[in-house]
Amino acid sequence: MIRKFSSCVERQSDTVRHTGFMARLAHDRSGNTLALVAASILPLVGLVGSGIDMGRAYLASSRLQAACDAGVLAARKSLGTEAAVTGKISDKVAADGYKFFNLNFADGNYGTDSRDFTMALESDFAITGQASVNVPTSIMTVFGFDNVPVSVDCQALLSVSDLDVMMVLDVTGSMRHANDGDTLSRMDSMKSVIRDFHAQLETAKNPKSEIRYGFVPYATNVNVGHLLEDSWVTTNWTYQSREIDSEQTTTTPQTVTRNWVAESGTRTPWTTESEYAATYVPPTSGGTGDTGGTTGGYYSCTNSVPSSTWTFANELISSETGTDENGQPTTTEYYRRTSNGTNYRQIISGDKCLIQSSTDTNYVETFESYSYEQTSSTPVYEYKPIASDVTNWRTDLNGCIEERRTSEITDYDNVDITQNLDLDIDTVPTAGDSDTQWRPSNPNAIYARSFDYFGNGSFTPEAVKTTEGFAPTGQWWFSHCPARAQKLAPMTSDEVDTYLATLSPFGATYHDIGMIWGGRLMSPTGLYAAENADGTNGQRARHLIFLTDGQTEPYDLAYGAYGIEGLDRRRWNPSSTLSLADTVEARFGVACAEVKKRNITVWVIAFGTYLNDAMVECAGNGQYFEAANADDLNNAFTSIARSIGDLRLSK
């Protein structure tokens, strides 16, 4: 007990000592600063550490947002407007998006880990993205925070504002052919791609914007008459034609046999002796280039026929003379014929050849041999330029035109547009001034002087009187008037289908007339300035797509927008230093330059052919394509649609 008590006394003594020390410490102000500093170290470390780590997290977040935006922008740019057709993000599009994301935020940037980036296609064809990383902490790990998760969202939208698209389309005869590897003709492939192109643009269209579409099908000419005001077209024009000068009467002896009557003997019916399979000759394509002519398949018999043993003898019974209703002399001779032997013939029946025979045995028949003088009148034509009244051109003619005043250009670096109004895409014609007006195409009046129906002959500028018939080349394939052009207007998919159904392949290739009228129908300062002015949404974007499947292929015998080149000689003549093809190419270049002066972007597509220098120069860098097949053509149109669109971040 004493020991326990002693212990209690000792502990009590210790407590008294400690209390005394703390009391003295409390009253000793010299030690307070150290205690306060020690107590504040951890809060200060937390405050500074969070600032450093959160600063890094903010920097990573900002950079991650930029990378996310870059990724979806690149993907949406790559996708273009094809989403309206495909409805998905292709592997290539995804790869483009990831590439730009990676370039802007590499794996491990700012010490981050667990980097992730995903994209999705929305119902409005925007591409949304989500990116996330973990930002490891440097100091806050002391407080149990090992990393800061960072996540951002992004979205890119491609929209189309007010836009005009003019499609100048080669519809010549060669468009009926198919490219290697394609199952459809070039014409049908082109129609399919244009339908998809229209769907792409319409889907990407801003609800408040307007897209208008125009079409100029071209071959040797363009069909634009229905788009012209009455005062823009002359009602009197001179054509390379013909008129009857006089008549030439000729008398030709003629003899016919008639009134056959069997008297005696026998003649057997035609009887099949043998048969064999006929040889099938498949259809063939005729001509080259744009001719497009074909011959149908048919069956042919190639075996020989047995030699005939048939003979006959004619006996003159009597004769008499007289006159016909015109007072011309006639002679009638009466004969009796006796025949013997066998005749053979060969006929086609379906896919078989039949060899048949018929035998005469003392077969006697009578007949008449009637001789007379046949009188005929042949017109004598004078072939020359003939002035014609074409007041009713809207109803009587086909809608194609002859171009207004022009001249032969010798220096294409210095073209005087005032002297070559065919290359002037803006000037409105003056009523009554045929120099400034267009002239109705009149193909049925055209004759090429002096060429025959086989194209043999030479150009004869002077008038010719003859009974011969010269070639009516205004009606030949290479003078074909294509389907009607269409001014710029909003179009539904059904309206596009209806229009494309009017296009058919025929005619020769004249690139200049297509470019000229594509520009005229699109220019904001020309014939349709009031319709083509900028809209309420600001400046209207204007794009002209020029598609051809062949090189320039003119014919001096053809009747086109410049008459018959070899006779009318308005822009070219047979003695020109340039060929007709070179002339067309050079004027195409001038027309293209005039179009681009109106702030119109020109795209050129060579479909199933190559781009020549004139086409490349017309389009400019990055705006021309060579499409070997339908897939390439679709890629070209998709690339154009992508460039037309307005790409922007929507959030």
Tell me the three-class secondary structure of 467-514, residue by residue: CCCCECHHHCHHHCCCCECEEEECCCHHHHHHHHCCCCCCCCECHHHH
Range name among 15-24, 238-247, 334-343, 568-577 with the lowest pLDDT average: 15-24
Which is it for strands 298-300 and 279-281: parallel, antiparallel or unpaired?
A: antiparallel
User: Given the structure tokens 């209207």, which residue do they identify?
Assistant: 540
Q: pLDDT band for 617, please (50, 70, 90 cuts).
A: very high
Q: What is residue 13's predicted lDDT score, i.e. its pLDDT?
A: 43
Give which of 312, 339, 86, 294 is closest to 196, Cα–Cα. 86
Q: pLDDT band for 317, please (50, 70, 90 cuts).
A: very high
Q: What is the mean pLDDT of residues 627-633?
A: 97
Fold of 163-235+390-646: Rossmann fold (3.40.50)
Q: Each residue of 199-225: pLDDT tens digit?
A: 989 988 877 889 999 999 999 999 999
- Interhelix angle 493-500/186-204, rounded to 10 degrees, is 160
Phi, psi of 215 (to 5 degrees): -135, 135
Domain assignments of the chain as residue spans, ordered by start: 44-154, 163-235+390-646, 245-378
Q: What percentage of residues in the chain have a pLDDT greater than 90?
A: 72
Given a cut of 70, whether residue 4 has pLDDT beyond it is: no
Report d(CA 129, CA 122) in Å as an integer: 10
Given a cut of 80, whether residue 22 has pLDDT beyond it is: no
Q: pLDDT band for 650, please (50, 70, 90 cuts).
A: low
The whole-chain average pLDDT of the chain stands at 88
Residue 279: how many CB atoms within 10 A of its CB? 13
Q: What is residue 207's predicted lDDT score, i.e. its pLDDT?
A: 79
The number of angstroms, rounded, from the C-alpha of 209 to the middle of its chain's C-alpha atoms is: 25
Report d(CA 524, CA 588) in Å as an integer: 20
Q: How far apart are the first and last CA of the chain?
A: 86
Q: Quick check: 563 and 448 in contact, CB under 8 A?
A: no
Sign, Cα dihedral of 81, 86, 88, 92: negative
Contacts of 190 (CB under 8 A, 6+ apart): 169, 175, 547, 607, 633
Q: What is residue 287's predicted lDDT score, i.e. its pLDDT?
A: 43
Q: What is residue 9's predicted lDDT score, i.e. its pLDDT?
A: 38
Report d(CA 219, CA 506) in Å as an integer: 7
- The structure tokens listed for 431 are 């009523």
Contacts of 69 (CB under 8 A, 6+ apart): 154, 156, 649
Report d(CA 389, CA 445) in Å as an integer: 12
Q: What is residue 125's predicted lDDT score, i.e. its pLDDT?
A: 73
Classify burial at 404, counting beta carbons within 10 Å of its beta carbon; exposed 0-12, middle 13-18, buried 19 or more.
buried
Q: What percentage of residues in the chain have a pLDDT greater than 70?
A: 85
Residue 342: how many CB atoms within 10 A of its CB? 16
Range name among 27-41, 341-355, 359-373, 620-634 with the lowest pLDDT average: 27-41
Beta bridge partners of 81: none
How many residues in total does the chain contain?
651
Q: Quick check: 79 and 127 in contact, CB under 8 A?
A: yes
Range name among 368-377, 453-462, 636-645 with the lowest pLDDT average: 636-645
Q: What is residue 505's predicted lDDT score, i.e. its pLDDT?
A: 97
Q: What is residue 292's predicted lDDT score, i.e. its pLDDT?
A: 47
Q: What is the mean pLDDT of residues 527-547?
A: 87
90 vs 564, residue with greater confidence: 564
Report d(CA 184, CA 178) in Å as an integer: 6
Q: What is the mean pLDDT of residues 75-95?
A: 75
Range name among 40-54, 324-338, 356-370, 439-453 with the lowest pLDDT average: 40-54
Contacts of 413 (CB under 8 A, 6+ apart): none
DSSP symbols for 57-118: HHHHHHHHHHHHHHHHHHHHHHHTTTHHHH-S--HHHHHHHHHHHHHHS-TTGGG-EEEEEE
Give which of 442, 436, 512 is closest to 473, Cα–Cα. 442
Range name among 91-95, 318-322, 380-384, 616-620 with the lowest pLDDT average: 91-95
Q: pLDDT band for 156, please (50, 70, 90 cuts).
A: confident
Q: What is the mean pLDDT of residues 465-470?
A: 96
Q: Quick check: 566 and 591 in contact, CB under 8 A?
A: no
Q: pLDDT band for 50, please (50, 70, 90 cuts).
A: low
Q: What is the mean pLDDT of residues 181-209?
A: 92
Q: What is residue 644's predicted lDDT score, i.e. its pLDDT?
A: 83
Give the count of alpha carbons within 13 A of 376, CB side only. 9
- The structure tokens listed for 574 are 């047979």
Given a cut of 70, whether residue 535 has pLDDT beyond it is: no
The number of angstroms, rounded, from the C-alpha of 361 to the middle of its chain's C-alpha atoms is: 71
Given a cut of 50, whether residue 411 has pLDDT beyond it is: yes
**Alpha-carbon radius of gyration of the chain:** 45
Contacts of 229 (CB under 8 A, 6+ apart): none
Q: What is the mean pLDDT of residues 42-51?
A: 49
Report d(CA 481, CA 461) in Å as an integer: 25
Phi, psi of 125 (to 5 degrees): 70, 20
Given a cut of 60, whether residue 18 has pLDDT beyond it is: no
CA dist 601 → 306, 472, 510, 542, 622 (Å): 73, 40, 21, 6, 11
Q: What is residue 517's predicted lDDT score, i.e. its pLDDT?
A: 98
Q: What is the mean pLDDT of residues 561-574?
A: 97
Classify burial at 412, counting beta carbons within 10 Å of its beta carbon; exposed 0-12, middle 13-18, buried 19 or more.
middle
Q: What is residue 215's predicted lDDT score, i.e. its pLDDT?
A: 98
Given a cut of 60, whether residue 191 has pLDDT beyond it is: yes
Q: What is residue 151's predicted lDDT score, i.e. its pLDDT?
A: 92
Q: What 3-state DSSP class applies to 276?
A: strand
Residue 185: how many CB atoms within 10 A of its CB? 17
Q: Quick check: 428 and 232 in contact, CB under 8 A?
A: yes
Q: What is residue 286's predicted lDDT score, i.e. its pLDDT?
A: 45
Give which of 590, 489, 503 is closest to 227, Cα–Cα. 489
Q: Each residue of 427-455: pLDDT tens digit?
A: 999 999 999 999 999 999 999 999 999 99
- The structure tokens listed for 615 are 């086409």
- The structure tokens listed for 266 are 């026998």
Given a cut of 70, whether residue 621 has pLDDT beyond it is: yes
Q: What is the mean pLDDT of residues 186-199?
A: 96
Beta bridge partners of 401: 440
Range name among 370-379, 442-451, 492-501, 528-537 with the lowest pLDDT average: 528-537
Q: What is the mean pLDDT of residues 543-560?
A: 96
Q: What is residue 60's predicted lDDT score, i.e. its pLDDT?
A: 87
